[in-house]
């Protein structure tokens, strides 16, 4: 079975998973991209500065020869250490960007050798053919140490022309395409994990004479820097995203569960209310007051349904109790008759007295039978089980037949009866059912017309069809009673009058006429007259399909 | 004991009257509320059996008007209305008992008998006078262990005297309670009935249990009082 709670929970949670994970992944890639770009930009800036330096160094540099005795003591000590066994040619003091270096030129074994010392005498690297080392090696980030940066320069033939001191014995991997412009790539060094590198081709414009690269020739500079910090940052970001995602999901699951539960609470309350309603508590209603907006229409509909149910149930209950009540009196009669009969059995005098008892038994049985027949007819009409057999019916003959059994009673009660029926009026309908309707109308008139009163039965025809009217003297009914006359078991005087009418006659007649597609109405044309109008329906073109 | 039966069902009226008369009651009957109310106001009945759904005037109105007129005759409602509110309403309006149709005739008689006894202020169902016991529950009279065979009207007469044991009951009172409108009590009918009753309950030779107070009436009293 489909559960709203489960459905909402699954929907909300899965939506949240998709949404938060895509947000998280998107955010991670955005940040990674931004950080990498920043990293790359820093590399690029460095490379560009590097290239610029290499073409500008001479302009910015202030080089001058320094006599040995003017050298500071640390430089002297360091020099003596490095120069040992070689012939010193010259010491130049270089000022670059406000920093002081000492370039030492020596002759060793007939070859010229240069090296660079810092102002504190630190050995910064030896000059190579290209001469970069002197310029760039001076930068502390390229010195071996904690997380150094690396550079290496290749000429067009793939020969290394310079590399940073931090590389020591290692080499950087040259980029695959040497002439592809600026590219970024990841590579690895044996002692270092993974480094990020930029390949930066440029043409150095050095003017000093010891240029190993012919002027105007391209070189490729690769500057690399460890990725460890970046990777670490990214990993931290990944983990924190994952953990916060999980936390979000867990808290969302709790929240969704809670909010779905509290959101559905009115529904549960409604269900609770509904379970408390059974056949005995049909009068209770769903509260439509402080309930939720969405449930309001449901409650209203349910209440309407309950209204209908209750009235149907009440009607049914009243009907049942009316039936029981109607049967009580004849049963009480029968029982008293039998009990008194039994008590007096010994003293009964002959056939005559026994016959009078039996006559009464028969009369009671007949009365009950009539009641049961009416009830059955009513129930069949209501449940739609009453079959209709259409036939050609002579209305006047049917009226005659219905009247026959009532004529005697009418005469006894001194009723003045007048029939105004045209002859040979035919209708296609069910003769048995219409007969029952007519008998009910007529016997009702006979029973409730006061002694000496009048009954008039007339049949008229006009454009709207045939209309049968039964009008009888009645000085008891009021306008208000008219709403009840057609209800089952209704009688003006709730006590049994001298007739044994159960109060079902007009009710049964009404149901039957509805079944036959006719209409039955009651009214009081004047204060002392009661009129039942039976509209037999549209005039059927009584095409005489008779066979004569 | 005299009973009024107000019931609109002709057959029920016929058989109930017949049965009640056989049980020794004097029964008058009315077919509608108005007649019933008139009779109940005019005559001092021991019990009125009243249907609720009556032509002309319904039973509850009859009861209300009867009580309003000051009659405190015991009323038993006999009706097909069986709901609790109906019963409660009937009792609240001054009825003494309520019986729903259909009913067992025996039960009706027992309830009527109870109301009669209540009317004479006794709850016992047996009254003993000398060596004669009147069993009102079974409507039999015994001397020792031997049943005395009494006709219904003779029994009714003895029962009335027994219920008023020790009191002098006037001839008019006896006529009012023992005979209904169907009977035509000529002046000596009570005397002759009393004569027959004495023969049946008295032991020959012993003083009679029923004493005649000349000009006043009769008194039922055990010997030695």
Chain-chain contact of B19 with A329 (C-beta, under 8 angstroms): no
Tell me which residue has tokens 């160094």. A57
How would residue A290 be classed by pLDDT, with cut points 50, 70 and 90? low
Chain-chain contact of A340 with B18 (C-beta, under 8 angstroms): yes
How would residue B212 be classed by pLDDT, with cut points 50, 70 and 90? confident
For CA atoms A323, A438, A521, B53, give the dihedral sign: negative
Test the A interface: residue of B6, B10, B11, B18 with most A CBs within 10 Å? B11
Chain A, window 472-531: residues with a beta carbon less than 8 angstroms from a chain B beta carbon: 493-497
CA separation for the pair B182, B28 (Å, rounded):
8
Select the more confidently predicted residue: A328 or A158. A328
How would residue A53 be classed by pLDDT, with cut points 50, 70 and 90? low
The pLDDT value recorded for residue A320 is 81
Q: Could you say which of B8, B12, B22 has the minimum Cβ distance to residue A343?
A: B22
Select the more confidently predicted residue: A383 or B29. B29
Query: pLDDT digit string (tens) for A162-199?
Result: 777 777 777 777 766 656 678 888 888 877 678 888 88
The pLDDT value recorded for residue A190 is 73
Question: Per-residue pLDDT averaged across B208-217, rounded?
Answer: 83
Torsional class of A97: left (φ above 0), alpha (ψ -120 to 50), beta (otherwise): left
Q: Where are the beta strands (DSSP E) in A286-431?
A: 391-394, 416-420, 426-429
Chain-chain contact of A332 with B102 (C-beta, under 8 angstroms): yes
Q: Which residue of B has its CA nearest to A361?
A: B11
Distance, in angstroms, between B12 CA and closest chain A CA? Answer: 5
The pLDDT value recorded for residue A544 is 36
Query: Quick one: which of B125, B126, B127, B129 has its CA closest to B202?
Result: B129
Q: Does A337 touch chain B (CB under 8 A)?
A: yes
Q: What is the average pLDDT score of chain B? A: 86
Q: Which residues are registered as beta bridge partners of A116?
A: A103, A125
Question: Per-residue pLDDT averaged across A90-105, rounded?
Answer: 75
**Interface pTM, i.e. ipTM:** 0.79
Q: Does A317 touch chain B (CB under 8 A)?
A: no
Distance, in angstroms, between B206 CA and closest chain A CA? Answer: 35
Asked if pLDDT for residue A98 goes beyond 70, the answer is no
Select the more confidently predicted residue: A440 or B191. A440
Asked if pLDDT for residue A135 goes beyond 60, the answer is no
Asked if pLDDT for residue B67 goes beyond 60, the answer is yes
pTM of the predicted model over 0.90: no
Chain-chain contact of A340 with B103 (C-beta, under 8 angstroms): no
CA dihedral A227, A230, A232, A235 (to 10 degrees): -120
How would residue A371 be classed by pLDDT, with cut points 50, 70 and 90? confident
Asked if pLDDT for residue A428 goes beyond 80, the answer is yes
CA dihedral B142, B144, B146, B147 (to 10 degrees): 0
Chain A, window 343-372: residues with a beta carbon less than 8 angstroms from a chain B beta carbon: 343-344, 360, 363-364
Chain-chain contact of B15 with A493 (C-beta, under 8 angstroms): no
Asked if pLDDT for residue A120 goes beyond 50, the answer is yes
The pLDDT value recorded for residue A126 is 65
The pLDDT value recorded for residue A235 is 92
The pLDDT value recorded for residue B196 is 86
CA separation for the pair B81, B99 (Å, rounded):
9
Helices A295-343/B10-22 angle, 10° precision: 50
Proportion of chain A above pLDDT 70, given as a percent = 85
Q: Which residue of B has its CA nearest to A337?
A: B15
Chain-chain contact of A340 with B58 (C-beta, under 8 angstroms): no
CA dihedral A320, A323, A328, A333 (to 10 degrees): -170
Chain-chain contact of B105 with A343 (C-beta, under 8 angstroms): yes
Q: Could you say which of A333, A334, A497 has the minimum Cβ distance to residue B55?
A: A497
Q: Does A336 touch chain B (CB under 8 A)?
A: yes
Q: Could you say which of B19, B22, B80 has the minimum Cβ distance to residue A328?
A: B80
Assigned token pair, B3: 């009973």
Q: Does A89 touch chain B (CB under 8 A)?
A: no
Q: Does A230 touch chain B (CB under 8 A)?
A: no
Query: pLDDT digit string (tens) for A212-253?
Result: 556 567 788 888 888 888 889 999 999 999 999 899 889 988
Chain-chain contact of A336 with B81 (C-beta, under 8 angstroms): no
Chain-chain contact of A332 with B104 (C-beta, under 8 angstroms): no
CA distances to A110, A336, B6, B109, B180 from B24, rounded to whole Å, are 170, 17, 18, 10, 11
Element (H, E) at A26: helix A4-60
How would residue A134 be classed by pLDDT, with cut points 50, 70 and 90? very low
Query: Quick one: which of A546, A496, A304 has its CA closest to B58?
Result: A496
Q: Does A172 touch chain B (CB under 8 A)?
A: no
Q: Which residue of B has its CA nearest to A360?
A: B11
The pLDDT value recorded for residue B41 is 92
Q: Which residues of A touch B53 (CB under 8 A)?
A: 494-496
The pLDDT value recorded for residue B4 is 94
Chain-chain contact of B81 with A325 (C-beta, under 8 angstroms): yes
Distance, in angstroms, between B23 CA and closest chain A CA? Answer: 10
Asked if pLDDT for residue A539 goes beyond 80, the answer is no
The pLDDT value recorded for residue A97 is 56
Q: Could you say which of A329, A336, A493 has the minimum Cβ distance to residue B80?
A: A329
The pLDDT value recorded for residue B122 is 78
Residues of B at the A interface, defined by Cβ within 8 angstroms: 8-9, 11-12, 15-16, 18-19, 22, 32, 51, 53-55, 58, 80-83, 100-106
Asked if pLDDT for residue B58 goes beyond 80, the answer is yes
Q: Which residues of B touch A318 (CB under 8 A)?
A: none
Helices B33-42/B59-68 angle, 10° precision: 20
Chain-chain contact of B54 with A495 (C-beta, under 8 angstroms): yes
Chain-chain contact of A335 with B9 (C-beta, under 8 angstroms): no
Q: A528-531 contacts: CB < 8 A, separation 24 or more?
A: A528/A473, A528/A474, A528/A475, A529/A471, A529/A472, A529/A473, A529/A474, A530/A448, A530/A471, A530/A472, A530/A473, A530/A474, A530/A477, A531/A469, A531/A470, A531/A471
How would residue A260 be classed by pLDDT, with cut points 50, 70 and 90? confident
Select the more confidently predicted residue: A352 or A454. A454
CA distances to A126, A449, B46 from B9, rounded to whole Å, are 143, 20, 22
CA separation for the pair B134, B143 (Å, rounded):
9
Query: pLDDT digit string (tens) for B143-198?
Result: 888 888 888 888 888 888 888 888 888 888 888 888 877 766 666 778 888 888 88
Test the B interface: residue of A495, A500, A502 with most B CBs within 10 Å? A495
The pLDDT value recorded for residue B66 is 92
CA separation for the pair A196, A146 (Å, rounded):
16
Test the A interface: residue of B105, B149, B152 with most A CBs within 10 Å? B105
Q: Does A335 touch chain B (CB under 8 A)?
A: yes
Q: What is the average pLDDT score of chain A? A: 80
The pLDDT value recorded for residue A293 is 80
Q: Which residue of A has its CA nearest to B51?
A: A495
Question: Per-residue pLDDT averaged across A521-539, rounded?
Answer: 83
Distance, in angstroms, between A471 CA and closest chain B CA? Answer: 24
The pLDDT value recorded for residue B1 is 85
The pLDDT value recorded for residue A139 is 66
With contact defined as beta carbons under 8 Å apart, do A488 and A503 qualify?
Answer: yes
Asked if pLDDT for residue A438 goes beyond 50, the answer is yes
Q: Which residues of A touch B32 (CB under 8 A)?
A: 495
With contact defined as beta carbons under 8 Å apart, do A178 and A154 qualify?
Answer: yes
| Least trusted range by pLDDT, from A146-160, A172-186, A296-310, B30-44 | A172-186
Query: Highest mean pLDDT: which of A493-502, B76-85, B186-195?
Result: B76-85
Q: Could you say which of B11, B54, B104 has the minimum Cβ distance to residue A337?
A: B11
Asked if pLDDT for residue B25 goes beyond 70, the answer is yes
| Least trusted range by pLDDT, from A21-25, B49-53, B54-58, B65-69 | B54-58
Test the B interface: residue of A326, A329, A490 with most B CBs within 10 Å? A329
Distance, in angstroms, between A491 CA and closest chain B CA? Answer: 11
| Least trusted range by pLDDT, from A1-5, A336-340, A506-510 | A1-5
CB atoms inside a 10 Å sphere around CB A530:
24
Select the more confidently predicted residue: A114 or B132. B132
The pLDDT value recorded for residue A96 is 62
How would residue A543 be classed by pLDDT, with cut points 50, 70 and 90? very low
Q: Which residues of B touch A337 (CB under 8 A)?
A: 11, 15
Chain-chain contact of B55 with A493 (C-beta, under 8 angstroms): yes
Query: Quick one: which of A158, A6, A131, A140 has its CA closest to A63?
Result: A131
Question: Per-residue pLDDT averaged across A400-424, rounded?
Answer: 87
Q: Could you say which of A332, A343, A344 has the minimum Cβ distance to residue B12?
A: A332
């Amino acid at each position: 079975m489909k559960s709203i709670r489960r459905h909402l929970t699954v929907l909300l949670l899965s939506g949240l998973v998709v949404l938060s994970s895509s947000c998280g992944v998107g955010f991670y890639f955005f940040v990674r991209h931004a950080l990498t770009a920043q990293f790359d930009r820093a590399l690029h800036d460095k490379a560009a500065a590097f290239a610029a330096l290499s073409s500008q160094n001479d302009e910015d540099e202030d080089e001058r020869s320094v006599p040995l005795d003017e050298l500071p003591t640390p430089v002297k000590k360091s020099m003596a250490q490095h120069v040992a066994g070689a012939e010193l040619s010259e010491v130049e003091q270089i000022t670059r960007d406000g920093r002081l270096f000492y370039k030492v030129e020596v002759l060793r074994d007939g070859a010229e050798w240069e090296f660079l010392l810092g102002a504190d005498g630190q050995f910064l690297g030896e000059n190579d053919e290209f001469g970069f080392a002197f310029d760039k090696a001076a930068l502390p980030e390229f010195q071996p140490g904690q997380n150094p940066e690396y550079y290496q320069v290749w000429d067009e033939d793939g020969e290394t022309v310079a590399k940073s001191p931090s590389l020591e014995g290692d080499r950087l991997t040259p980029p695959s395409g040497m002439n592809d412009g600026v590219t970024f790539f990841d590579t690895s060094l044996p002692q270092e994990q993974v480094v990020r590198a930029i390949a930066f081709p440029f043409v150095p414009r050095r003017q000093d004479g010891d240029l190993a690269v012919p002027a105007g020739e391209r070189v490729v500079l690769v500057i690399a820097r460890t990725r460890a910090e970046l990777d670490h940052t990214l990993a931290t970001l990944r983990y924190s995203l994952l953990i916060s995602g999980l936390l979000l999901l867990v808290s969302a699951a709790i929240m969704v569960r809670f909010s779905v539960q509290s959101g559905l609470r009115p529904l549960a309350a409604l269900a609770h209310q509904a379970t408390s309603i059974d056949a005995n508590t049909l009068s209770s209603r769903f509260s439509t007051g402080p309930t939720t907006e969405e449930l309001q229409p449901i409650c209203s509909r349910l209440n309407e349904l309950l209204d209908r149910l209750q009235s149907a149930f009440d009607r049914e209950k009243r009907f049942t109790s009316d039936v029981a009540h109607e049967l009580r009196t004849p049963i009480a009669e029968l029982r008293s008759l039998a009990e008194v009969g039994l008590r007096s059995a010994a003293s009964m005098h002959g056939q005559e007295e026994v016959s009078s008892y039996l006559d009464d038994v028969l009369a009671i049985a007949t009365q009950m039978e009539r009641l049961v027949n009416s009830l059955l007819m009513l129930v069949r009409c209501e449940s739609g089980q009453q079959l209709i057999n259409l036939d050609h019916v002579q209305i006047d003959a049917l009226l005659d037949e219905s009247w026959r059994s009532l004529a005697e009673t009418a005469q006894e009660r001194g009723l003045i009866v007048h029939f105004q029926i045209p002859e040979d009026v035919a209708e296609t309908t069910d003769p048995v059912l219409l007969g029952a309707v007519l008998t009910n109308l007529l016997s009702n008139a006979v029973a409730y017309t006061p002694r000496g009163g009048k009954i008039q039965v007339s049949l008229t025809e006009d454009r709207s069809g045939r209309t049968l009217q039964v009008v009888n003297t009645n000085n008891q009914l009021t306008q208000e009673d008219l709403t009840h006359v057609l209800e089952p078991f209704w009688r003006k005087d709730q006590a049994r009058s001298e007739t044994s009418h159960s109060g079902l006659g007009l009710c049964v007649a009404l149901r039957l006429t509805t079944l036959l597609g006719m209409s039955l109405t009651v009214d009081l044309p004047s204060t002392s007259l009661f009129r039942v109008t039976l509209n037999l329906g549209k005039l059927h073109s009584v095409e005489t399909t008779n066979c004569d | 004991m005299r009973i009024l039966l107000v019931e609109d069902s002709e057959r029920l009226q016929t058989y109930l009257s017949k049965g009640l008369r056989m049980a020794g009651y004097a029964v008058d009957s009315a077919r509608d509320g108005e007649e019933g109310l008139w009779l109940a106001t005019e005559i001092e009945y021991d019990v009125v059996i009243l249907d609720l759904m009556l032509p002309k005037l319904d039973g509850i109105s009859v009861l209300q008007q009867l009580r309003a007129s000051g009659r405190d005759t015991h009323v038993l409602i006999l009706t097909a209305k069986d709901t609790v509110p109906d019963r409660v309403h009937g009792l609240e309006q001054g009825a003494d008992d309520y019986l729903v149709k259909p009913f067992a005739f025996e039960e009706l008689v027992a309830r009527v008998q109870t109301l009669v006894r209540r009317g004479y202020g006794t709850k016992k169902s047996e009254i003993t006078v000398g060596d004669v016991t009147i069993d009102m529950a079974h409507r039999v009279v015994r001397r020792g262990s031997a049943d005395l065979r009494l006709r219904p009207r003779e029994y009714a007469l003895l029962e009335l005297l027994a219920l008023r044991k020790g009191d002098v009951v006037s001839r008019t009172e006896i006529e009012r309670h023992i005979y209904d409108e169907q009977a035509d009590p000529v002046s000596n009918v009570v005397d002759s009935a009393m004569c027959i009753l004495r023969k049946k309950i008295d032991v020959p030779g012993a003083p009679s249990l029923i004493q005649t107070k000349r000009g006043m009436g009769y008194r039922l009293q055990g010997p030695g009082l």
